[in-house]
Amino acid sequence: MSSESKFGDYGGQYVPEALMPAIEELTDAYERYVLDNEDGFMDEFRERLRDFGGRPTPLQRADRLSERYDREVYLKREDLLHGGAHKLNNALGQVLLAKYMGKDRIIAETGAGQHGTATAMASAYLGMPCEIYMGRTDINRQRPNVFRMRIHDAEVNPVDIGSGTLKEAINETMRDWATNVEDTHYVIGSIVGPHPFPKMVRDFQSVISEEAREQVRDQTGRLPDSVVACAGGGSNTMGTFHEFVPDEDVDLVAVEAGGSELTIDEDEDLAPHSASLSTGEEGVLHGARTKLLQNRDGQILESHSVSAGLDYSGVGPELAYLADEGRVTPVNVGDDAALEAFHRLSKLEGIIPALESSHALAYLEEAVLGEQADDLGDLVVVNVSGRGDKDLDTVIEESEKRDLDAAPSMEVFEGEQ
Amino acid sequence: MSSSIREAFADEPPLISYVAAGDPDAESTKEYVRALVRGGADVIELGLPFSEPIAEGPTIQQAIRRALDAGMTPDRYFDLVAELREDAEVDVPLVCMTYYNLIYQYGDSEAQRASDASGKTASEGREGPEPFVEAAAEAGISGLIVPDLPVDESGPLKSACEAHGLDLIFIVAPTTTDERLDRMLDRATGFVYVQGRLGTTGARSDVSTDTHVSLGRLDETDLPKAVGFGISERDHAREIVSGGADGIIVGSAFVDLIAEGDEVADRLEAKARELKEGALDGAEKVPEPEGK
């Protein structure tokens, strides 16, 4: 089993002993229900994704982006999935699996709040009590999602330690799990954590690339030249890439958050970015060996991104492996470019993308018209991993701060209260 | 193989005391370790602070934060250990408790430091946990406890510990299955760390029934068994030792005193004495006082 828990040297199971029996139980459940479809688990999962989740999501030709970039640009519309982000694929899969395993309590962590919202939604739908841990900083910048979680009857537990972002929320959820492991399932929100989470989450998210691959062939008669997705922990990234990995002519581009700059501030022990795939060093965090933002001693650094969903110091072990192997190309774009891409898609295509997805869209601009000058080819698929309603407060504030040309006026009209 | 840690269990149930190295600074840690030894501590667990201590409760998380803010690093930690080893008052084994990333990363950082000093480009670091274990052994550490390293991933660290004569101590949890217990006992040396209850570290007001169940499952084991997680009072210590433990491990109850910052050394010494006496009572099976 040990070799199957790894991607090259990455992955593994580095957790307190108290959790190991639960992880062995989960591994067994993953193999039986997800891989072998025991008791028709996968059939039920797919049926519920269709009826409750609204799958399949469309693959839409983006006419004005295609014109701007002088090539065919297709958008995989995960923003149209129920709840407004790809996160439901995994949350629904894991909450359903927890039911099959006879667990009676769900816990999860969340950064942007999308995973927390999806887990709260899936728990409400399947009748499971649910608690969500969320860093204080993220609570303040993602308020709509906090309300959505509560509306679905989930308890939201603020985490005040450290920078109050996803890393701290994961630590706290692991502590809860270590205390209540016998009846509780921890729905990890990305392809991170100890085996089997990275594989299991990828499998639940692979529905994105299964559909996209079939849709692009149906609609264009061929496979794309490149597939672009943003990468934080990496669940939408691997979900979007997985079925294309064997197609060696298809370039897979993982766009990380370059934040405000790429260098690490050694004095402050701060990374002003979240680009662990392109700049991180190998280490062990949250149950897995992977690429991490860390200082020379191995202390984990606080990351930064304008997008809460990408603001994490690690990345999934499978992505770290595929990047080392050269199969996935890690690139990054900064906060400003992501904000501009947010406004661009909103204006040109009538779609308000999540700030996470805006990074993927920003790379398109930089690769085709900007400094990076990468050849993405004639046919490009970009994953719009979620919708941006949750980010409006951040976008307005950050656009004003930067005096961003692309941003519309947000002044309140005269006479309006 | 007999180790200095194991010898601490030879005559009477040892008190194993945890403090975070560098909380609130390295000089204070030396003073506190001396106080604990005066109070009767037989083994000192010296925490090497890691930024993501997922196995710790709030008390030790905050201690680790204070130590990191005060600049504790692996190199300074080894310096501190070496200084403690030279201190005549501190004649007990020192055990390093830390998380795997610091152990794993040390080889790379060691190469980096060497290249910084020589002004040359960094060569590849020595891979894996060996450089850390070597440095720990040189400084005078007798054993390692790594709470995020289950037996399944412990192969490379175990080899390094064997090469340098360190004990690798495993934590047995209330949830540990018999099959896992067997694997752990195959690799464990020094003592078995029995996690007294599920959850994270932290002082509690009672002794969990899990403790007695876990101890029962370890009856056949040759290795001494020490119980940790939640012990804070004399009565807990007595109950745990009379229930079959060979020693007790106390962390948060001491760290709480350090956090309060008031006459710390004297209070640590008194607390250690209280807990050690509880353990001794338990070993003699002194009957419960009437009308408790």
Confidence class of residue B288 from pLDDT cuts 50, 70 and 90?
A: low
- What secondary structure does DSSP assign to A163-189, as a single string? TSSHHHHHHHHHHHHHHHTTTEEE---
Partner residue facing A161 (CB), from B55, B61, B199 = B61
Partner residue facing A12 (CB), from B153, B173, B199 = B153
| 3-class secondary structure, A339 | helix
The pair of three-digit structure tokens given for residue A273, joined into one six-digit string: 């970015």
Distance of CA B16 to the CA centre of its chain: 7
Task: Compute the nearest-CA separation of B19 from chain A (Å).
Answer: 19
CB interface of A with B, residues 22-81, below 8 Å:
22, 24
For chain B, say whether A150 makes contact (Cβ under 8 Å).
no
More confident residue, A268 or A288: A288
Residues 6+ apart with CB under 8 A from B275: B15, B40, B231, B233, B234, B237, B248, B250, B253
Residue A313 pLDDT exceeds 60? yes
For residue A300, list chain B residues with Cβ-Cβ distance below 8 A. 51-52, 101
Q: Which amino acid is at B101?
A: N
Containing H/E element for B178? Answer: helix B178-187
Q: How far, in Å, CA of B248 to CA of B278, rounded? A: 10
Contact A18 B54 (CB under 8 A): no
Confidence class of residue B292 from pLDDT cuts 50, 70 and 90?
A: very low
Residue A2 is predicted with a pLDDT of 43
Residue B78 pLDDT exceeds 90? yes
Confidence class of residue B1 from pLDDT cuts 50, 70 and 90?
A: very low
- Lowest mean pLDDT, pick from A15-29, A192-206, A259-273, B84-98: A259-273
Residue B111 is predicted with a pLDDT of 63
Confidence class of residue A87 from pLDDT cuts 50, 70 and 90?
A: very high
For residue A19, list chain B residues with Cβ-Cβ distance below 8 A. 175
The pair of three-digit structure tokens given for residue A72, joined into one six-digit string: 């065919």
CB interface of A with B, residues 223-282, below 8 Å:
281
The pair of three-digit structure tokens given for residue B35, joined into one six-digit string: 């106080």
Over chain A, what is the mean pLDDT? Answer: 94
Residue B38 pLDDT exceeds 50? yes
Task: Compute the nearest-CA separation of A181 from chain B (Å).
Answer: 8
How do beta strands B143-145 and B167-169 pair? Answer: parallel
Containing H/E element for A73? Answer: strand A72-77
Contact A14 B198 (CB under 8 A): no
For chain A, say whether B170 makes contact (Cβ under 8 Å).
yes
Confidence class of residue A417 from pLDDT cuts 50, 70 and 90?
A: low
Residue A352 pLDDT exceeds 80? yes
Containing H/E element for B137? Answer: helix B130-139
For chain A, say whether B151 makes contact (Cβ under 8 Å).
yes
- Secondary structure tally for chain B: helices H, strands E: 12, 9
Instruction: Name, of A143-147, B112-116, B258-262, the range with top average pLDDT.
Output: B258-262
For chain A, say whether B153 makes contact (Cβ under 8 Å).
yes
Contact B151 A17 (CB under 8 A): yes
Quote the strand ranges of B173-268, DSSP E: 192-195, 225-228, 247-250
Instruction: Give the residue ranges of DSSP H helices in A101-242.
Output: 114-126, 136-141, 143-151, 166-180, 197-205, 207-220, 235-241
What ipTM was estimated for this complex? 0.92
pLDDT tens track for A96-115 = 999 999 999 999 999 889 99
For chain A, say whether B209 makes contact (Cβ under 8 Å).
no
For chain A, say whether B77 makes contact (Cβ under 8 Å).
no
What mean pLDDT is predicted for residues A213-235? 98
For residue A298, list chain B residues with Cβ-Cβ distance below 8 A. 50, 74, 101-102, 104-106, 109
When scoring B50, B51, B181 by the number of chain A Cβ atoms within 10 A, the one with the most, hence best to mutate, is B51
Q: Where in the sequence numbering do the catalytic residues of B fall?
A: 45, 56
Contact A22 B176 (CB under 8 A): no
Containing H/E element for A250? Answer: none
Q: How far, in Å, CA of A369 to CA of A392, rounded? A: 27
Is there a catalytic annotation at residue A87? yes
Confidence class of residue B116 from pLDDT cuts 50, 70 and 90?
A: low
Q: How far, in Å, CA of A155 to CA of A149, rounded? A: 7
Partner residue facing B109 (CB), from A180, A182, A296 = A296
Nearest residue of B to residue A179 by CA position?
Answer: B199
Are A191 and A198 spatial neighbours (Cβ–Cβ below 8 Å)? Answer: yes
| 3-class secondary structure, B16 | strand
Are A288 and A249 spatial neighbours (Cβ–Cβ below 8 Å)? Answer: no
For residue A160, list chain B residues with Cβ-Cβ distance below 8 A. none
For chain A, say whether B206 makes contact (Cβ under 8 Å).
no
- What secondary structure does DSSP assign to B80-133, as a single string? HHHHHHH-TT--S-EEEE--HHHHHHHHHHHHHHHHHHHTSPPPPPPPSSHHHH
pLDDT tens track for A153-173 = 999 999 998 778 888 999 999
Distance of CA B7 to the CA centre of its chain: 16
For chain A, say whether B31 makes contact (Cβ under 8 Å).
no
For chain B, say whether A285 makes contact (Cβ under 8 Å).
yes
Contact A17 B172 (CB under 8 A): yes
What mean pLDDT is predicted for residues B18-46? 98
Cis peptide leading into residue A58 (ω within 30°):
no
CB neighbour class for B221 (10 Å; exposed up to 12, middle 13-18, buried from 19): middle
- In order of A181, A203, A241, A252, B70, the CA distances from A226 in angstroms are 42, 21, 10, 6, 48
Is there a catalytic annotation at residue A349? no
Confidence class of residue B205 from pLDDT cuts 50, 70 and 90?
A: confident
Partner residue facing A285 (CB), from B52, B57, B170 = B52
Residue A371 is predicted with a pLDDT of 76
Residue A109 is predicted with a pLDDT of 96
How do beta strands A105-110 and A59-61 pair? Answer: unpaired
Contact A300 B51 (CB under 8 A): yes
Q: Of residues A72, A78, A109, A398, which has the active-site annotation?
A: A109
Locus of tokens 């370039």: A251
Q: How far, in Å, CA of A369 to CA of A382, rounded? A: 16
Residues 6+ apart with CB under 8 A from B271: B39, B253, B254, B257
Nearest residue of A to residue B171 by CA position?
Answer: A17
Containing H/E element for B42? Answer: strand B41-47
Residue B122 is predicted with a pLDDT of 47
The pair of three-digit structure tokens given for residue A106, joined into one six-digit string: 């769900």
Containing H/E element for A284? Answer: strand A281-285
CB neighbour class for B243 (10 Å; exposed up to 12, middle 13-18, buried from 19): middle
- In order of A197, A230, A353, B22, B169, the CA distances from A241 in angstroms are 17, 11, 19, 46, 42
Which has the closest alpha carbon to B48: B67, B33, B61?
A: B67
For residue A18, list chain B residues with Cβ-Cβ distance below 8 A. 171, 173-176, 195, 198-199
For chain B, say whether A15 makes contact (Cβ under 8 Å).
yes
Is there a catalytic annotation at residue A103? no
For residue B180, list chain A residues with Cβ-Cβ distance below 8 A. 17, 20-21
For chain A, say whether B148 makes contact (Cβ under 8 Å).
yes
For chain A, say whether B199 makes contact (Cβ under 8 Å).
yes
Residues 6+ apart with CB under 8 A from A189: A87, A90, A91, A108, A109, A110, A111, A115, A116, A119, A201, A233, A235
For residue B209, list chain A residues with Cβ-Cβ distance below 8 A. none
- In order of A124, B64, B100, B188, B202, the CA distances from B48 in angstroms are 42, 8, 11, 21, 17
Nearest residue of A to residue B111 by CA position?
Answer: A296
- In order of A337, A375, A405, B288, the CA distances from A371 in angstroms are 12, 12, 19, 78
Nearest residue of A to residue B129 by CA position?
Answer: A283
